[in-house]
Amino acid sequence: MQKKIAVINDIAGYGRCAMTVLLPIISYMGVQACPLPTSIFSNNTAFPDFFMDDYTDRMEAYIGKWGKIGLTFDGIATGYLGSVRQIDIVKRFIGAFSHEGTLVIVDPVMGDHGKIYSAYTVELCTELRKLVALADIITPNLTEACYLLDMPYREKGWKRRELFEMAQSLSAMGPSRVVITGIPQGEFIANYVYVKTGEGEPQARLSRIHKADSERCGTGDVFAAIIAADAVNGVPFDRSVKKAAAFVRQCITKAVELKTPSTDGVPFEELLYKLKRG
């Protein structure tokens, strides 16, 4: 049977981020993507003005209908969650809709470049750690990894031993697979990959790729979509991280070539044919 992933995230009608990135990429990779919206935006928040409808009050009724038709999922992928109540709903969803072998992929969207998003409170960060404890895979960027571990952020100068200890501490919260993304290293950008094997020493390595020319909205969602689809398809984690990083770089390069405004995300549609399913 075709694999299914429940995609729990917001929807932005314009600006290529969150659900509008995750659904087509996961689908292209041969996995049925089932959306569970948390909020609906007219466009992403990189624009100066937008409409937003908080979907929290309708999530439980929506989920209830899935329960009545007996759905379970091979993967559950979560993105930005804007309240303690949403996190609680998602934790209960994981318990109700998992079966043996279901993989939970948590992208703990909290901030970037050393700054946490304004909506995030101490309470919200605490609750997000509880969600991380239920995950099999997490994909924090460097800022989010520091906040999850309550440690100071710095932009540069991270030694491999420090990154290993960070990833090990994140894995100790619950997930067996961790990738810390977006680590600046001169002309490179690095991802630190950690896999708890259960057979002695974990597998850990630094994976680097040349920086693209600019940063764009939605690239983290592109990365997370590939990781989620590959996970349920049984692709080794290290290979999946390399694939995701390379594809994001290609998307950014194409955005520069097409002169796509940074607010509009990346034109991944132009490059989906290059994305391998395995």
Q: For 178-223, what is each residue's pLDDT tens digit? A: 999 999 988 889 999 999 987 778 999 999 888 876 778 899 999 9
User: What pLDDT shows up at residue 214?
Assistant: 74
Task: Record the pTM.
Answer: 0.96
Q: For 30-47, what is each residue's pLDDT tens digit? A: 999 999 999 999 999 999
Cα atoms in the Cβ-side hemisphere of radius 13 Å centred on 15: 22
Question: Using 50, 70 and 90 to split pLDDT, how confident is the model at 20?
Answer: very high
Per the structure, the complete domain to which residue 226 belongs is given by 4-274
% of the chain with per-residue pLDDT over 70: 100
Compute the distance between CA of residue 16 and CA of residue 22 in angstroms, rounded to an integer.
Answer: 9
What CATH number is given to the structural domain containing 126?
3.40.1190.20
Compute the distance between CA of residue 16 and CA of residue 260 in angstroms, rounded to an integer.
Answer: 11
Instruction: Scan for tokens 């750690």, then name that residue.
Output: 129
Q: For 55-84, what is each residue's pLDDT tens digit? A: 999 999 999 999 999 999 999 999 999 899
Compute the distance between CA of residue 258 and CA of residue 55 in angstroms, rounded to an integer.
Answer: 34
- In the DSSP assignment, the letter for residue 34 is E
Compute the distance between CA of residue 73 and CA of residue 30 in angstroms, rounded to an integer.
Answer: 14
Compute the distance between CA of residue 238 and CA of residue 207 in angstroms, rounded to an integer.
Answer: 9
Which string of DSSP letters, residue by residue, matches 217-261?
TTHHHHHHHHHHHHHHTT--HHHHHHHHHHHHHHHHHHHHHTT--
H-type helices in 77-159, by residue range?
A: 84-97, 122-132, 142-148
88 burial class (0-12, 13-18, 19+ CB within 10 angstroms)?
middle
208-238 burial, b at 16+ Cβ within 10 Å, e below that, comes to beeebeeebbbbbbbbbbbbbbbbbbebebb
* Strand partners for 207: 191
Q: For 86-142, what is each residue's pLDDT tens digit? A: 999 999 999 999 999 999 999 999 999 889 888 888 899 899 999 999 999 999 999
Q: Are 22 and 224 in contact (CB under 8 A)?
A: yes
Q: For 138-154, what is each residue's pLDDT tens digit? A: 999 999 999 999 999 99
Closest CA to 142 of 182, 105, 192: 182
- Cα dist from 145 to 38, 166, 169, 177, 201, whole Å: 23, 7, 10, 14, 21
* Token representation of residue 20: 């509008």
Structural domain total, the chain: 1
